[in-house]
Amino acid sequence: MAAPGTGHEFEFTGIDGNPLPLGQYRGKPVLVVNTASQCGFTPQYAELQQLWRRYRDLGLTVIGVPSNDFGRQEPGSEDEIKEFCESKFDVDFPLTAKQKVTGEEAHPFYQWAAEQAGDAAQPRWNFHKLLIGPYGEIAGTWPSQIKPLDKSITEAIEAFTGKPD
């Protein structure tokens, strides 16, 4: 079987247990970020929420993908993760169920991203960012150290959405 051609061909399970197909975002950009609740980068949840609020009406979706792959920094259950994100950072963008994001057991979306964009698309730590363009292509990758409101990310998003008012 051939590897899927676009990011829209993948589906996550939402943190609430419901399907979260990326195909529902065809024609719009999606920022996919592997997250963790006990990481030095965890405060980036606040900027991810700001990014979501700023651009969602223009079509952007932010999706958080909790993962325990790095430093065991996401040990909680889905309910605990959801409660943490909502109570500490007022997160209301979509979150997936906990996923593996590296190695042979990585979620198929992350395996595809690595095949498409190589090392830059492979998370090396929590809060690695992948921008999927409107056609399902990888339109940008940023390592953990680059904050969500960094100009390089907002400019990449605005290439698809335009600038917010």
Of 39, 85, 95, 130, which residue is the catalytic one? Answer: 39
The Cα 124–Cα 102 span in angstroms is: 8
Q: Which residues contact 88 (CB under 8 A, 6 or more apart)?
A: 45
The closest of 18, 158, 38, 151 to 97, measured between CA atoms, is 18
The Cα 1–Cα 146 span in angstroms is: 36
> Strands (DSSP E) along 10-160, which ranges?
11-13, 19-21, 30-35, 61-66, 129-132, 138-142
85 annotated active-site = no
Which residues are annotated as catalytic?
Answer: 39
